[in-house]
Structure 1
């Protein structure tokens, strides 16, 4: 069984102009980091022309489907009946994308089937992480 889940999603970039550009994005989950999800945007979709990846908690993504969630660099909230808004706050500004809620729910269901919520700690390698930390401290 794979320990990584990737799902392509269609994100609509919200700008000050009335139209919204569609940009490709990928939601990614890896059992090696069981509390986190990543959302990556390919180079052509970014201002810098390099791939950009944001990491945030899977709990934040799930909570944001039902009500506004997040106070930091990433915020998630429902928008209408079928969209979810993800805001990315950086020193350069704020990027806001709309994603179909059904795509996010499908992704989270796959993640839940791989690592049930509340069982993330079972996928951590605390002994290995501690050994690496102590090895690096020497």
Structure 2
């Protein structure tokens, strides 16, 4: 069974629950490290928790969420080996997989998206990394960690 890890702060509890349910319906095993209603945490801590769990291996990708998605995506990208994309629509979600091979996708729980977040995630799931010239670019992205 394909596995996903997900974590959120208090700014994205409802959206996290929606994504977890969606992924389970798609046949994923979801390791939910996120917060429930009424809990509070700092988004850098939640990004670190999810990304370090992802890097242990065995996961297809990770999902991180905070109020805007900005802070948690910045935090995730500070962790060596992570390529986190904060996507705003299905096109961006598809392209971050095809061109950047993003291994973490971020959303904002307080953001009004132009389409359903599950549709955006579906676009990411249905896309495949194209490799080729994009492989060279991903290698350059990852070399910036040195």
Q: Give the TM-score category using the shorter length.
A: under 0.3
Using structure 1 for the length normalisation, give the TM-score.
Answer: 0.23
Larger relative CO (CA 8 A, sep 6+): 1 or 2? 2
- Greater fraction strand: 1
- Greater fraction helix: 2
